[in-house]
Amino acid sequence: MRVKFRSAFLLLAMASACSAASAQARPEPQWWGNLNVASRHFGGERDFLNPGESFNEFNPGAGVEVQWQPRHAVAVGYFLNSVDEDSFYALYHYTPLQLGRFVRVGGMIGVVTGYPGYNDGGIAPGGGFIAKVEGQRWGFNLIYLPEISEVTPNTLGLQIKRRFGP
């Protein structure tokens, strides 16, 4: 009986120690405030907009990004989109490729609203590629959204970001 009790106690102690070591190895989540700044569209406006219209390439907005591991983050926010409509987004970022000390590259997927030609402006799937350049406190996200036929051309977006906390 004592042997079983000691074995169980030893297993419990080892599991607790491993769990504590694992918890200590995980980095604290990083919280970033994002400011949407601008976009640049590549392709003919006539293929995507009505005659006389043009893309708005100043896209003010704000959001929050939470990175719980260097490769994984989620972001939510608002911006005035390229067709002058209010847009909200919720995205998951996966950035497995590290280039040097400050740059991570990967993809993002999630949902976006506010594009009349895309699900009538309602909630629609969204995705693209992202390059994150992050220093200790400041950084920026360079976003590439591939063309969606008859909806939007290839687009580059820029967000400036500030880290909160330690």
Question: Collapsing DSSP states into helix, strand and coil, what is residue 22?
Answer: helix
Span between the terminal Cα atoms of the chain, in Å: 50
Kindly state the tokens that stand for 151: 């909806």
Q: Is residue 33 within 8 Å of 64, Cβ to Cβ?
A: yes
Q: 3-state class of 29 per DSSP?
A: coil
Q: What is the pLDDT of residue 153?
A: 92
H or E segment to which residue 24 belongs: helix 2-25
Supply the pLDDT for residue 25. Answer: 65
Would you state the pLDDT for residue 116?
87
pLDDT of residue 20: 47
Rounded distance between C-alpha atoms, residue 140 and residue 132, angstroms: 6
Q: Dihedrals φ, ψ of 159, to 5°?
A: -125, 135
User: Tokens standing for 157?
Assistant: 């977006």
Given a contact cutoff of 8 angstroms between Cβ atoms, the answer to whether 164 and 157 are in contact is: no
3-state SS assignment for residue 10: helix
pLDDT the model gives residue 73: 98
CA 84 – CA 18 distance, rounded (Å): 53
- 28-164 has which CATH code? 2.40.160.20
Distance CA 86, CA 81 (A): 6
3-state secondary structure of 101: coil
Answer positive or negative: Cα dihedral of 76, 85, 60, 153.
Answer: positive
For the chain (166 residues), the mean pLDDT of every run of 10, in chain order, is 48 47 69 97 84 91 95 97 95 97 97 90 95 97 92 94 91
pLDDT in tens, 123-150: 999 999 999 999 999 999 999 999 988 7
